[in-house]
Structure formats: C-alpha cells, structure tokens
Structure 1
Amino acid sequence: MALLRQAGTDLADVEVKAAAGGLPKSVRDTLSAFSNDRGGTLILGLEEEHDFRPAPGFDAARIRDALAAACNDDMHPPVRAEIEIVSLDHALVVTAEVGELDPRFKPCYVAARGEYNGSFTRGGDGDRRLTDFEIHLLHTNRGQPDDDRQAVAEATLADLDPTSCQLLVARVRQRQPGAFAGLPEDQVLRRLNVIRDDVDGVTRPTLGGLLALGAYPQQFFPQLNVTFVVYPGISTEDVPVGGPRFLDNRSFDGPIPVMVDEVVTAVLRNTSVRSFVDGSGRTDVYDYPAEVVREAVANALLHRDYSPYSRGTPVQITLYADRLVVANPGGLFGAITEDDLGGEGVTSTRNPVLAKLLQDVRLPDTGRMVCENRASGIPTMLRELRRAGSPLPEFHSRITRFKVIMPRHSLLDDETMAWIADLGQPGLTPTQHLALAEMHAGRPVTNGTMRNLGLEAHRATTELSDLVNRGIAVRIGERRHARYLLAPDVAPMPPAHEPTGQLGDDAEELIWQALADGAELSRRDLEARTGLSYMKVLRALKNLEITGRVTATAPARSPHRRYRRVSSAP
C-alpha cells in the first residue's frame, strides 16, 4: 500500500478497484490479464482517487463471494486465485493473488466474450486486449512448432554453402557414427532436416538448414537478419545539439554463424574497456564481455519466432550510453518463465531443428560451435557478468517479444557501497549487498535473481526474508510470484522541498526536458523518450507535481491522461 500511495496509481502487477457498488465487470479483464501475463494481485475495496483509502459502503463478504464466482464461472479456463478478506486502515478489503496460467492452457479469457474478444494482458498499469497474432502465438506454444523444419519454396540445394555442409557432415559422422557413418552426404543432410522434399517432391533446404548453412538466407527472407543501432545517449530522443542521431547503424546478413560473429565484433568496437577489482587485483574488461554478447545474440537468433507472422521482424540490438538491449520476436517458449532463466538444465526451444544444427556448426575462423544446446547459454552469461563485476541482465518476456537488457555500469560501485553502508545494517552477506544494489538501481529482485547470484533456492529465500525483517525491503506477491523492492522509506526519493528550478535527480531532469516546447506526453511516452523504468517515471512525475512544475491533463484513471509543464514554472 505504501508503494501504491507513493506511485499514486496502480502498479504493473497490482490492480485496485473500489467495488463499493458491486463487483466491477472490468475485474474479469484483469483476471484474464494477470493469468496471461506473470500473475498479479487484485485488491478490492479501495478508492484510488482518494489515496487508496477504504471505499465507503464496501461489503467485503459479498464481494469475496462474487469474485470467487467470477473466477470459477466467468473465466475459461477457470482462474484459481487465492482470495482473502484482510484488514486495512480499520476496514476490510478483499485481495486475490492470481498466478500465471500454464502456457499449455493460455489464453485465459472472459467466457461470455469469446477467446478473441475476451483475452487480455497487462499494459503498464491497465489491461490490454490481446491481438489476433498474440493469440496465435499462445496457440503455437501449446505444441511444438515446426517452422524451422519446413521446406523453403524457391530455394534449391545450390543455396546451401557446400563447405559448411561438408564440415557438418564430417562432424556428425565422427560424433555419432552409428547414425551417420555409412550414409552418403545427402542422406545425412536429410536425416538432420537440413533438406527435405516439398509437396511436389522437389528436394529443397529447410528454413533451419538455410539459416544454419545457407549462403545467403536473406535472399528468401530479407528481414531474418540482425539490426544494430548505437545511440549517443540513454534514449532514442537523447541527441546532443548539433550531434549525430546515431553513432552506428548497421544490419547484418548471412547465415546465423556469420551474423553472430559480426555482431559481437560490432558491439565490442562500440564499447569501451573498464576496470574492476576482484580477488586477484584490478582487471580490465569490456563493458559487455564478448562471451556474454555472443550468447545473447546466439540465443536471440536460435529462440526467436520464425512463423510467417514474424518473418518481417529482425533481431534488434540497441546500444545506449548506459545499457545494451537484445530483442527478438516471440516470447519464452514452453513452460519456461523469466524466473527459471539461468537455472541448471532449464531449456525449451520452439526451433528444435535449428538448435540441433547449431550445436554442430562452427563460428567463422574458430573451432567452437554456435551453441551447445545444453541449456548453458544464460548460465554462461550470468557467470561471465558476475566475474566482471557487472549487474545481472534483466529478462523481459511478453507474448510477442523477448528482451535482454544489460546495464553498463559496475554493480557495486563506490556510490552504491557508500549507500549500503549508510543503511546501518551490520552482518549483510555479499549476495545481500548485490540484491540491495539491484533494488537501488530500480530493479525488483526475485528468488530467481538470488539463485542467479549463486545461492541455493532455500538460502535465497532466507536472505530475502532477512532484508524484509530488517525493514529495508518489502515483498510484493506470494510464493513463486514474489518480488522484492526497497521499502518506501528507504528508497532514495528526490526531496520535495528543493528550491524552484532545482531538479532533484536525473530522472526529473530527463522528464523535464522531454516536456519542453509545450509537449503533452503520457506516462508511456515518457518511458519511451527517457528510457526510464515504469517506477522511476512515476516517482519523478509525482515529485514534479508536488513541486508544481508538472501537471496532469486528466484524472488518474483516464486513458487520455497526459503530463505537461506548468507554464509559470521556470
């Protein structure tokens, strides 16, 4: 509740409704959205417009029963929420913890409105109807897609690189002689699904074969490539006066091994070397270790969606002054969640033919394979980042898109260590220091985050619970959906009493500049323009409103709500 009141609006995974006159119809949209997304918490009986105070006339027992009935009778499949009546500010409210639905059964939708009109997901602090394409992806997630196994119309065997094919055949004959040693090359390629007959009986390369071993796959699929853009600032709009809009802007074609190799070279060419202190002394590393970039790019190309709906979208790599972003079409496949990433043996791929091939296809001019196909890619990234003293990457999975964000700075820099020391909390473990540094940077921490820092699951829970017991962190959500943030009175908030014209922190400065020239922008517009996180934008806007520099153009719940500078403010 303190976080809600601090933000002044709902959170991405917390929805609040007054429900004083009965159960709102929109509750069903939220149940669908939470089920199709990462889960969330529904709170009924509070008025957002009155600082989330108890709603007069709210009947907790009646609403609890109505909500339980809606979960069971109005949703398909039924939503199994944990519904409780709890006491708050001397009143009773109803809470519901809604878990993410198993991918095999998505989408969850409002039964009376049908699958294509009644399926929702979360968008910021509200619910958004799923598009037909998103529903299609959820359907394909129930089984095993075979897009990479399909023959490519118009392609011929001459479109495969003969040297790459010969090296592949030689390797699998040596590694699996029982399956391949006595077969001619064309039979080996057929058994590996590099080639197959189309409906007319003509032998053609498959999509997976062309991407792994083709001379130039973009002849048939121009957008199945990688784009790379380097911006001078921390957002697409952060351009120095008179300076270039891009520092680098390129696209990379060819088969996957070539694209991975060239992208890594381009990223390293556009980053600098920094030093950090480890157990052996001072070590110099790239801002983004080459091994980390290689694994991120290879994963994006291997696990992206290759269905016809997504073949017009490339893998996109964007380098800002403070972070590297690798994004690909298609979210996580199968039963894997963001919190599972980095766990030992955690793997699931929508492109099994491509995964099988890339474990035996070499990167250019090296003896190493593109990937091991052993669920080792993300653990390797985490290990290398820990070794370099860098923050762990952020993973963002949505139905149509998966994104990896790698911050540029050192996780435990001097400023962060001084801040932790000022907390006055003796006896913190090294991993608790790292967890607090993540929270200090505005990133929520989960049990999975702690496991990625090297802890066993039970120890991760113990250390996070200790931070809560110390009063320096709070937990949002329950069980596997729990995430931990800095307690509101610990989080470094900009002072509300600064002199007029003095902006309290960089977030306020970025938003102040984005609203120049009379611009009226939504919260999402400000996130896009500044590159700031959801919570940082909310906090900065709240402080700017308190100090009278920014005003909102509509009530908090209005879809037309925008923010603009106050004309009298300097």
Structure 2
Amino acid sequence: MGGSELKRLVALLRQAGTDLEDVEVKAGSGGLPKSVRDTLSAFSNGRGGTLILGLEEEHAFRPAPGFNASRIRDALAAACNDDLHPPVRAEIEIVEFEDTLVVVAEVGELDPRFKPCYVAARGEYNGSFTRGGDGDRRLTDFEIHLLHTNRGQPDDDRRPVSDATMADLDPLESQLLVARVRQRQPRAFAGLSEEQILRRLNVIADDTEGVTRPTLGGLLSLGAYPQQFFPQLNVTFVAYPGVSAQDIPTNGPRFLDNRSFDGPIPAIVDETVSAILRNTSVRSFVDGRGRADVYDYPAEVVREAVANALLHRDYSPYSRGTPVQITLYVDRLVVANPGGLFGAITEDDLGGEGVTSTRNPVLAKLLQDVRLPETGRMVCENRASGIPTMLRELRRAGSPLPEFHSRITRFKVIMPRHALLDDETMAWLTGLGQVGLSSTQHLALAEMRAGRTVTNGTMRNLGLEAHRATSELSDLVNRGIVVRVGERRHARYLLAPETATPPPALLAEPATGSSAEDLVSRALADGSELSRRDLEERTGLSYMKVLRALKTLEATGQITPTAPARSPMRRYRRTSSAG
C-alpha cells in the first residue's frame, strides 16, 4: 500500500471515527499488542483485512508517539509465522505517513481447507476468531464445526431419516422421477425396479438396523410432508411496509404479508415465488427488443434465489431449527439461509459460469430431475447456472446487481428494488467532474454510493473480463475518488471521503424524513439498547451509513453509548432529550 492510498484510507477511518470491519488500527508504542494475534486469526478466517500499526484510534488516528516501525514489523512477521496455526502469510511493509513511519500488513483469507486459523497457545476452540463489526469475536463451537465440515464432503442429505417410511414419499412424484431417469440415462437404470432406482439415486437407504427409509435428500425432494420430521426445514416470508421491521406507518399494518411454506422443496419454491411476486409491483424498462414489463424482481431471479437457498443451506443437526428466511422491504428483497458458502468458493467467484460447490450433492442431483408443480420445469435445470441466470436477468431489466454476504453460519442475498442509475445518482456522477469514465465505472460508483460493496467480482458480474475489471477499479483509485481496502485478491473498494460527500444540490434530505440519522433514531425510539449490528438489521442501512449516523447522533447528544468504543458490549440508546 502506497502513502497516498494509506492517506485516503486513514481519512475514511477518521470520518467513520472507528475501525472498519476489515481494517484494524493499533498504536503499538509499547511493543506488538497481544490482541494483534486475535486480529490475524479473524482476518484469516474471514475475507482478509488490513492491519495498521503506529496510529492511535483514540486520538483521531494520529501517529503514536514512540512507535518503532522496524521493531514492530519484525515482531509482527514473527507472530504471523510462529504464533498462528496455520501460519499467516501477510504482506508487511513500512509506509511513510504524516512525517513518520507506520507498519501496514495486508492479510489474505485462508484457504477454506485449512480453516480455522487460531492462536496456537490457546488451542483451536479458544484461539479461533472472526470479525464482529470493528472488533474480534471468538468463534463458537458451531462455527468451528462448520469450518471442519467444509474441509470434506458432508453427508447429511444422504442419511436415512429415523422414523420415516416409504409411505412418507409421494408415490406419483417418485414414479415420475424414476421414469425421467430411465429415459435420460438408460444405461445406468435399465432393467432396475423402482426401488432399486430410488436406492441408486440415494432417495432411500437402509438404517443401522437394516430398515429401508427415505434419506433426508429424498424426503426433501419427494416427501409428502417433510416437516413432520423437521418442522423448521421450510421457508418463512415476511413483507414489511417500510425499510425495516420497525418502520411502520402511523396507524398502518405491522406487515403486509407473513406466512411460512411447508412441503417438499419443489412445492416450497413455487409457493414462495408466487407470494413474493404478489407483494411486488410491475415496472417497465426498455431493452434491445423494445419496451417490456417486469416485476420489481424478475420471476426467474426470485425462483433461482429461493431454489439456491434451499439447495445450498446447511442441513446438519445444528441448523435444522432454522428455516430459510425471506424478507421483503419497500427497497429490497433479502433471502437468507443457514450455512455460508461451501468449499473453495468465495463471494467474488459467484456469477462465474460453471462455478459450483455444494454441501448437499444428493439433493443437488435429485433436484435436477424433480419437477416444479406449477410449471413442470425441473427445480434445478442446469447445475451451476443459477447465479449467472440471476445476474443476466437483472442486467437485462436494468436492475442493480444483488449483494452476496457469506459468513460461516449464514449466507444472504440482497436484491435492491430501485433503478441503479436514477436521476439523482446521475446528477451526483456529473458533479464528480470526472471525464472519460466507462459505463461500468459509473455503475460501480453508483453501487458504492448506495453503500454496497464493490469488488473485482462485482465488475466481472457487470460483464467485464477479469483484467479489464482490475484496470477500471485501479483507474478509480488512481483518480483519487475510490479507496482500496484489503489484500489484493480480496480487495474491496469504497468511495473516498471527499467523493462520498454529495454536491450541494443533493445535500438536502428527502422530505419524507428517511435520512440515515432518522432511521437509526427511529429504531431506538422504543427505548431499546441496540448494537451497531442490530441497527443494521433494523434499518437496512449499510455498515458505513450506520457508523456515520451514530457518530452524528452521538455528537449532537441524541444518543448515548453504553460502553467504551472497543467493548463488545457497546450498545446505543436514545437520550431523554431526544425527540
């Protein structure tokens, strides 16, 4: 990281008033802080991050007196190699900053096959960390379990379900499946009975006592009512009238729709998609073929998102009490499922043709040959095409690309509702005064302005080749309007502080009172004490927008923090004088 790049990054930290999720700052005047090892573990177990040593957060990120850059660099290199297991391979350099020297380390994400990375002296279960907001949080036993299963191939969908019998499978759907595979693969299934074919497809298997029972994958694909055995292996759907669960109009309903969908996966997909589309409106757009009317979220996009969530979720015993959760707000659709990305797939890989890795191979195989009740199409017609299909349909409809958020225990897709390049955004882009920007750079800047993460993968999903994606993002950094955060392979890009400030014509908040400060203040109006992460969930705002709103509200005396800035117990509450 060069000096100018570090300068813009520190300006961003000063604006936020705190560390970022993937940027940690420590003074290091008295030597290498012990907590650095926790941060190295956390960055390695997440998406990587940047560690800056030699600045004091409590003094507006000014250079720390008495900091010895060369000594700290050597101590940090030794800690990476000797104190972490597996060793952390970080890019460590000394960088000049404000007439002094600081140490900057770019820490990459560890290969999933070797996670978790932990502090060797504490052991795996006490020394493994992840990032929680702007601090480090110890991994739970469940999270470590999921990381272990990610090293191999889980077999939860292959195991027979205790107490289930052949009578719990839908006989018609079983017959249709058998007929389809006999036609498609006659060499593999010719001359076999229906039971033999179902066994070969792992729809049924013998339990430890030799009793033939449906497997979990078979029950979820062909079962009459799988929820008899697993009540929470379903989908819940809630449609809210505002931008958060707490944003309720005066005398208005708490929610517009609230239901759950049971049955086998094919029925759940059809019923869920229908419910979502019933709660959205139709808009028009113009493409190469003329004017077209589509739902706010194209039906094909919604279907792929729901099917992917049910196919790729974690079905281990730890997660069987958690459904796939779908939430519709006025400005976005959120699809969340238990279990993060599986295997070596990262968020940046999503959208690439042929990119796939599933923790549920039996289920994935079956859903290619099991039909949707309404259309007769297969649930997963072409494996590995789901997310590319979503991206293609969204680009065609002129909609923003979805956000993908993968954590160890949870994967979430967020689809914004509004057009990306609206009149206000176009005016903001013009106000930047930047000549020669490409259309994809405009889209990337609009994504950043909306508070969404932009990476090399984002640019590829906009239709660019990898080398062109890197070139266009580097150009934005070189122009000084964007800041790169994180190790190169896992870098993300944010608007530079001066770029994030809108032109004077755009500074006024909408008359609706929907500024970030208003939303945060409203979320605290019931007297709750909420963490920053709680406020993100309640308001639907991005990490950075919540941080800025909290800083403004605290400075104006409208809210009070309940603990010091670095405490994991820090919450916020409204002051008695706040309106």
Q: Same fold (TM over 0.5)?
A: yes
Q: 1:513 maps to what in 2? A: 522
CA distance in 1, matches of 2:197, 2:520: 59
Q: 1:61 maps to what in 2? A: 70
RMSD: 1.9
Alignment of 1:254 with 2:263, yes or no, is yes
Cα displacement (A) at 1:503: 11
What per-residue deviation string (whole Å, max 9, x for no partner) do you get for residues 254-281 of structure 1? 1100000000000000111122333444
What per-residue deviation string (whole Å, max 9, x for no partner) do you get for residues 370-412 of structure 1? 0035210000000011111111001010111111011111111
Which 10-residue stretch deviates more, 268-277 or 321-330? 268-277
CA distance in 2, matches of 1:527, 1:168: 44
Q: 1:225 is matched with which residue: 213, 234, 254?
A: 234
Give 3-state SS (helix, strand or coil) of 2:483's partner.
strand
CA distance in 2, matches of 1:79, 1:159: 50
CA distance in 2, matches of 1:420, 1:139: 46
Alignment of 1:396 with 2:402, yes or no, is no
Alignment of 1:284 with 2:296, yes or no, is no
Q: 1:324 is matched with which residue: 327, 333, 341?
A: 333
Q: 2:215 maps to what in 1? A: 206
CA distance in 1, matches of 2:44, 2:577: 45
Q: 1:68 to 1:194 in 2, by over 3 A?
A: same
Q: 2:453 is matched with which residue: 426, 441, 444?
A: 444
Cα displacement (A) at 1:184: 1.2
CA distance in 2, matches of 1:312, 1:525: 22
Q: Decide whether the 8 Å contact of 2:108 with 2:487 is kept in 1.
A: no
**Quick one: which amino acid aligns to residue 107 of structure 1?**
P
CA distance in 1, matches of 2:492, 2:418: 23
Alignment of 1:188 with 2:197, yes or no, is yes
**Quick one: which amino acid aligns to residue 271 of structure 1?**
T
Which 10-residue stretch deviates more, 425-434 or 339-348? 425-434
Q: 2:32 maps to what in 1? A: 23
CA distance in 1, matches of 2:540, 2:254: 16
**Quick one: which amino acid aligns to residue 243 of structure 2?**
I
**Quick one: which amino acid aligns to residue 276 of structure 2?**
V
Which 10-residue stretch deviates more, 149-158 or 274-283? 274-283
Q: 2:188 maps to what in 1? A: 179
Aligned pairs for 1:255-404 (under 5 A) are 255-404=264-413
Q: 2:171 is matched with which residue: 151, 162, 174?
A: 162
Identity in percent: 85
CA distance in 2, matches of 1:300, 1:371: 12
CA distance in 2, matches of 1:389, 1:240: 30
Give 3-state SS (helix, strand or coil) of 1:117's partner.
helix
**Quick one: which amino acid aligns to residue 538 of structure 1?**
L
- Which consecutive unaligned segments of at least 5 residues does structure 1 have? none
What per-residue deviation string (whole Å, max 9, x for no partner) do you get for residues 94-122 of structure 1? 11111111111111111111111111101
Q: 1:354 to 1:113 in 2, by over 3 A?
A: same
Give 3-state SS (helix, strand or coil) of 1:23's partner.
coil
Cα displacement (A) at 1:517: 6.1
CA distance in 2, matches of 1:276, 1:117: 54
Which 10-residue stretch deviates more, 528-537 or 23-32? 528-537
Give 3-state SS (helix, strand or coil) of 2:125's partner.
coil
Q: 2:565 maps to what in 1? A: 556
Q: Decide whether the 8 Å contact of 1:356 with 1:373 is kept in 2.
A: no
What per-residue deviation string (whole Å, max 9, x for no partner) do you get for residues 170-204 of structure 1? 11111111101221111111111111111111111
Q: 2:52 maps to what in 1? A: 43
Q: 1:12 is matched with which residue: 14, 21, 35?
A: 21
What per-residue deviation string (whole Å, max 9, x for no partner) do you get for residues 541-565 of structure 1? 2233445544545442234444445
- The count of residues paired between Structure 1 and Structure 2 equals 566
Q: 2:423 maps to what in 1? A: 414
What per-residue deviation string (whole Å, max 9, x for no partner) do you get for residues 278-332 of structure 1? 3444432101111001000000000011111111111111111111111111100
What per-residue deviation string (whole Å, max 9, x for no partner) do you get for residues 424-482 of structure 1? 22222221121111111111211100000111000111111122222222211232111
Q: Decide whether the 8 Å contact of 1:165 with 1:213 is kept in 2.
A: yes
**Quick one: which amino acid aligns to residue 470 of structure 1?**
R
Give 3-state SS (helix, strand or coil) of 1:348's partner.
coil
Q: 1:91 to 1:470 in 2, by over 3 A?
A: same
CA distance in 1, matches of 2:530, 2:388: 40
CA distance in 2, matches of 1:30, 1:454: 35
CA distance in 2, matches of 1:63, 1:169: 66
Which 10-residue stretch deviates more, 166-175 or 427-436? 427-436
Give 3-state SS (helix, strand or coil) of 2:162's partner.
coil
**Quick one: which amino acid aligns to residue 430 of structure 2?**
A
Cα displacement (A) at 1:252: 0.5
CA distance in 2, matches of 1:221, 1:230: 25
Give 3-state SS (helix, strand or coil) of 1:116's partner.
helix
Q: 1:484 to 1:524 in 2, by over 3 A?
A: same
Q: 2:158 maps to what in 1? A: 149
Q: Decide whether the 8 Å contact of 2:48 with 2:487 is kept in 1.
A: no
Cα displacement (A) at 1:416: 1.2
Q: Decide whether the 8 Å contact of 1:503 with 1:509 is kept in 2.
A: no
CA distance in 1, matches of 2:476, 2:228: 55
Cα displacement (A) at 1:524: 2.6
CA distance in 2, matches of 1:240, 1:312: 32
- Which consecutive unaligned segments of at least 5 residues does structure 2 have? 1-9
Q: 2:7 maps to what in 1? A: none
Q: 1:199 to 1:553 in 2, by over 3 A?
A: closer
CA distance in 1, matches of 2:570, 2:229: 45
Which 10-residue stretch deviates more, 79-88 or 555-564? 555-564
